[in-house]
């Protein structure tokens, strides 16, 4: 899954480094270890609807008043043992979902999504202080859009040809986690780090939307860092920026692009 860079290798037998294999590649993503993040709890957030029927009825009411409902969910990535893990909420020890929720009709998409993420995961009160407390969310690429053509449970990663007025659109965003962050979870939920290999092709347990996340992430290369920010592993074939290969890094670190020596400081 990953290659140990020469600077972190403890073996005298070094791997053969291929030519750069990073053409037209999205940003390389830096992943920090799960141990860098602090987790707390806050008051429970019970589900708004007692049943699936009531949820669909509320969706129908929303559609009649405001049109298609907009839902945003975030994919938060860290790593354990040099393997990508996704932070997911578990409800009632059985149901998994990504952080996020539907937007209010008047909300701006990105700002409304940040509000929803804060509702779910931002710490409250003075329980925590210091770095990573209530930092701004870094909303990255839209990785997928799922459409609900009717007032029913089925959603599709495309709009069926007979559907001209979908009832809901759910967007999955990549959320860039900084080096450290404090997350507070409602007491009636758990925040679990689920490895991508557990999700892959596992629709029976996670459903088609979550089971497809490994495919969404496959377009990225990953660079795995330790608690101090040193690279301990990386995706094979991402090239070496010092030798002219393109290496663009997302997050709060330097970014190098192309072979012309351009260097930008990310916020």
Write the pLDDT tens digit of every residue in 221-252. 999 999 999 999 988 877 554 433 445 566 55
Spans of all domains in the chain:
38-205
Residue 179 CA from chain centroid, whole number? 15
SS3 content of the chain, % helix, strand, coil (to 5): 20, 35, 45
In CATH terms, is domain 38-205 a member of 3.40.50.2300?
Answer: no
Q: Are 92 and 132 in contact (CB under 8 A)?
A: no
Q: Is residue 201 pLDDT above 70, yes or no?
A: yes
Write the pLDDT tens digit of every residue in 4-46. 776 667 677 777 777 888 888 888 999 999 999 999 999 999 8
Binned at pLDDT 50, 70 and 90, residue 181 comes out as very high
**Is residue 123 classed as helix, strand or coil in its secondary structure?**
coil
| pLDDT value of position 127 | 65
Rounded to the nearest integer, the mean pLDDT of the chain is 85
Question: Structure pTM?
Answer: 0.85
Residue percentage of the chain with pLDDT more than 70: 83
| pLDDT value of position 90 | 94
């Amino acid at each position: 899954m990953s290659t140990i860079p020469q600077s972190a290798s403890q073996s005298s037998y070094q791997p053969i480094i291929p030519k750069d294999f990073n053409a037209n590649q999205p940003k390389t993503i830096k992943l920090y270890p799960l141990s860098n993040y602090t987790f707390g709890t806050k008051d429970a957030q019970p589900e708004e609807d007692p049943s699936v029927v009531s949820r669909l009825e509320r969706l129908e009411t929303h559609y009649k008043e405001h049109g298609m409902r907009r839902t945003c969910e975030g994919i938060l990535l860290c790593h354990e043992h040099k393997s990508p893990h996704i932070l997911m909420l578990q409800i009632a020890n059985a149901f998994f979902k990504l952080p996020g929720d539907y937007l209010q009709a008047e909300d701006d998409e990105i700002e409304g999504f940040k509000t929803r993420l804060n509702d779910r995961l931002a710490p409250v009160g003075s329980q925590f202080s210091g770095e990573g407390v209530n930092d701004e969310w870094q909303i990255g690429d839209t990785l997928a859009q799922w459409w609900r053509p009717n007032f029913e449970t089925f959603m599709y990663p495309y709009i069926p040809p007979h559907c001209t007025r979908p009832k809901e659109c759910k967007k999955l965003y990549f959320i860039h986690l900084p080096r450290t962050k404090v997350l507070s979870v409602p007491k009636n939920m758990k925040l679990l780090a689920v490895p991508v290999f557990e999700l892959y092709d596992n629709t029976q347990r996670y459903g088609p939307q979550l089971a497809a996340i490994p495919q969404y992430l496959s377009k990225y290369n990953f660079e795995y860092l330790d608690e101090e920010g040193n690279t301990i592993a990386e995706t094979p074939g991402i090239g070496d920026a010092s030798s002219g290969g393109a290496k663009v890094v997302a997050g709060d670190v330097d970014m190098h692009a192309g072979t012309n020596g351009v260097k930008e400081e990310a916020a």
